[in-house]
Structure 1
């Protein structure tokens, strides 16, 4: 028998005192068997506990790895969310489609993409887009629908993710002669149609994000943020277009497409106030067509409208980039000339008179008529503290003096 602990030995001797001597050996064997069985049970339980502890440690390690991955995933999601929230701010800050050339570089930097290509429906946006529009273009609605559906191979089109060289026409977004195009062709791209917020089955444009890394945009990547941003961008483009259209209708004369009286009263007072502070001269020209009523009465109002439109176009061509020109109504026009003295204004009036007289009424109207068109131009120089209305009234009075052949001292000779 193995050596027992002193306390165990004492207890064993106490038990044997109550057992006959002849049974001591049997009792000891029985006790040893029970002890061996108990030790085996303890060893088994210990192995079970150790195995369970190992399993728990493995589960804890797996949970720790899962937690690490989730935290990393959340960190990336938070970073992506911040990027797209900033991109949305840039988009929402757009107040005119003329800002698009500045908006695209902002979006590139915010979204960390190498290039952004934008195609917009010409029928919706062509009249509002700036002339200089790198990586942007206006295309017909039919071309837009055909190219995007062919690229995405679905109707309605779904976003495209994949290698840029897989695009049927990379030049639809990437100018072939751009220095960066070659590198981008070896990378990947994300292309998404921009849907009309009022008609979800209609495209108003498409946007493409390019990256030189082939693995940046692949079909297995989540695109929720990008698709959501594209929806917001499409809505912003339509909102800005509608606002500009409404604003243009407010300040543009419908017949001649020249700025109207509302445009004049909105912009001219600021010019007059600025000239008063800076001390540079400002002159006003009042332009009235001579005997225009005879054109309307003889040839009809439709022919008269064509003549008015041609005159307005010729007058706009005669103006400088910084002049303010507007049609007041009927056959009357006004021009506000900043940084212009009376001598220069008189020269401008003479050029306008000559330009209007050179117009051919028969060619404009398509009618055989001896009638011609001419204009009388009055001018006035802004006096200190004078209002816009007062300045125009003086130029108007000077125009009537010119018509009578009795010009005032301010009239052109």
Structure 2
């Protein structure tokens, strides 16, 4: 009973509630004071509401589908949507409006008097001028009155997403230049089997006999007059792993455009790394993706939003926990981030990790500064990324 009452009253708009309130007050005052004029106003308001309610009564049976093609685009590339409406009832459809939210806007499509089984299609374009996620839907039909007193909506579809990827620039393979060591590197940990030979040691019970160096063992036995076996000792190697971190603090950048440049910088490097079959981890502001492919990683950059007060060093600490096998860490931030904050962020990674920080600063020239294992790049715009990663100042 309560559910039915809620559904019935949910169709009344703010203007409708106002008319109803005026009618009730006029009826109360007219009955109390004996003014016939107020009673007429009350009756007119009630009759208007009743007549408007008749216009919203009725059941509609539709089959509605929404298609967006393509679902993923790079900012600036075209994308279009199609809404297809089929009359699934046995009677002719009365004129009705179909509303479709598209991002922050709302498209309206007047539906014709469709016969049973008749189809109406509408094509609409989608704005892709900037990176982000554009929700499309749900498609709803709207019944109402000319005065806007009542409005009854029925959803027919779910929300689908158009993901607009950031603009990226093509980069050379990342095996050299500033982002070096992306071909895998050795560690200080020894093992009995790997690719990086280190030294020979005496055989110990449990060692794999396949790694006995027989020639050296024979030489050592001859020199010591004792039977001596020597086995190969290796250094562990690990697979390349790029961890890209984008600062999401508004205070780190001069303006919002610099944040978009930072997103494009990190996305360009990650796309190149994935093309080179390098493992990646992405922390783009609040958006996190571990071991994703190109589409999933670019989706993370599309969902990144400027906001919050999480320091870059705190994001780096989280990245070090998520991806402990990182070999190269890329920190991307704005011109307002000072060097001590970059140093604190770099200290969260182990000493063998190559840490590169990119400061987006449109007011300064391209620059490269190296100190210990931290390399700081200054980049005024995205177009200079290829040169600065190669270690060339312009």
Q: State the TM bucket, normalised to the shorter chain.
A: under 0.3
Structure having greater relative contact order (Cα 8 Å, sep ≥ 6): 2
Going by fraction, where is strand more abundant, 1 or 2? 2
Going by fraction, where is helix more abundant, 1 or 2? 1
TM-score (normalised: structure 1)? 0.23
